[in-house]
Amino acid sequence: MRLKLIVGNLVIVLLVGLGSYLVVRTQIRAELSTQLEDSIGDDSVLFARSWRASGARLAEGVSSRAAGNSARNVFKASGEARRRGRAFEAAQGVSKWFQNPARGRRERPHIVMVIDETGRVIARDTDRNRMFAQPLLNKIPVLRSVLQTGAPRYGVWHHESKLLQIGVAAVRNDQGGVVGALLVGYDLSNGFAKQEAALIGHDLLFIMAERIYSTSTHVELRDALQGALYSSPLDNGTNAALQGKPTLPWTSTLAGDDYVGVTAALPMARGVDAGYVVLAHLGKHTALAGVATMILWLTLLGLVGVVIYGLIISNNIMEPIEQMEDDILAVINGRGDVRLEVETAELGGLSYRVNQLINLLTGVAEEDDEGRAVTSSGGWEAVSASGPDPGARPSAAGPLQSDDPKVAALAAVPEGQYYAQLYRDYVAAKQSVGEDVSNVQQERFIDRIRGNATHLAKKHGARMVRFEVETIGGQVNLKPVVIQ
């Protein structure tokens, strides 16, 4: 019974706890995943704005250098050699100017070039002869626009396996005509990807038609994403994104973790297969769902509490019940002196009623707290007593004398004769009120009466207790007589 009480409560607490954990965790994860998918598109737009702002600043810086005397003097030089020399020096100066941290980037530009009005390279930084006279109009779409309109532009250039963000500005003569252009390009390096990733709060990768170019992530994640972007099922989305159609948020398992990403083309990258991926770690953005684990700890605490409380309650209930069972079994086995002595609030009333039933079946009158016999109908009669103070020790000389001859005569009857006569009187009284006495066996009756007498004698500290048969209101009772 104890085990049933405890296990039942344990199962209920466990089921409620686990159910609550699974429901809460699932709902929180689903809500956070939905929020991430909704927000990552906005973060992709945020990067596109940052990219445009970065390109505009680069183009503005290039325009300020193109308007300077160093760049304009290139086109005032006479002779090709002097022109190339001035172009090289101008490119070197512009490169050094952009290295100033106040310009927004601390690293040196990957390339600085001075270009003539036909779109051919006059000179570049670091090497005056490298790329000399190389035509660029068909390779850099924004260059043609700059030479035609004179307005500065920014864009993307795939140059010698490098993916560059470039700014191009026109160089004008004294009359305001466009005589050439100045180009500055920065590599879309891992460092630049990390810098931009810090702004949007997600990983950022720059991609080309056939591979990932640079990334803010670790190598294992880059390699995993490389395989995902250029193979089914994401390859179609990658190709479409490079053509100018950004993808909807997609989910993929990369390097053992789930990620959400968006793929799109780089703004102002017309004619160049260049794009970017904004990538978010799904587990990190749903980490708040981990608070649901607290439910498991609370469930465990509840299980411990149930065990402790269950043991206490089951013991408080079961121990009295087990004692009642033992006492009732003793009465069944013939111990008529045994009574239930359970005083708990829950079972005290039951114990009292069982004792009443035993007294009724054995024909023994009950006693109140003052030692008075109580009949089954609720009335009471005084219990006769003989001798000195009930607390005094009994005399060793034999039965005590009493002023009541009836009590003295009852005490003087030999035990065997007394019990035989008591049985006959009891049966006769029962028959006189019309009760069936076929189940009242003499031996069993005497055993119970003897047990009750022993019990009452111990309770009152008496030498003996004997009974008299009395009939009150049609109810036959045995009235105890305490003899000191």
Structural domain for 64, as ranges = 29-287
Considering the domain boundaries, does residue 133 fall inside one? yes
Q: 72: part of which helix (H) or strand (E)?
A: helix 69-74
**228: which 2 tokens?**
């995902």
Is residue 457 pLDDT above 90, yes or no?
A: no
Is residue 394 pLDDT above 50, yes or no?
A: no
Residues 283 and 338 in one domain: no
Residues 234 and 129 in one domain: yes
> CA dist 53 to 41, 60, 71, 194, 217, Å?
19, 10, 25, 17, 23
Query: Which position has the higher pLDDT, 125 or 436?
Result: 125
Q: What confidence tier does 234 reach under pLDDT thresholds 50, 70, 90?
A: confident
**315: which 2 tokens?**
């013991």
Considering the domain boundaries, does residue 195 fall inside one? yes
Torsional sign, CA 350, 351, 352, 357: positive
Per-residue confidence (pLDDT) for residue 380, from 0 to 100: 36
User: pLDDT tens digits, residue range 368-384?
Assistant: 544 444 544 433 333 33
Q: What is the mean pLDDT of the chain?
A: 83
The model's pTM is 0.60
User: pLDDT tens digits, residue range 399-445?
Assistant: 333 456 778 888 888 988 999 898 989 889 988 888 888 877 888 88
Considering the domain boundaries, does residue 428 fall inside one? yes
Residues 81 and 171 in one domain: yes
Using DSSP's 3-state secondary structure scheme, residue 270 falls into coil
Per-residue confidence (pLDDT) for residue 366, from 0 to 100: 56
Per-residue confidence (pLDDT) for residue 103, from 0 to 100: 64
State what percent of residues in the chain have pLDDT above 70: 87
Residues 130 and 268 in one domain: yes
Considering the domain boundaries, does residue 1 fall inside one? no
Residues 253 and 365 in one domain: no
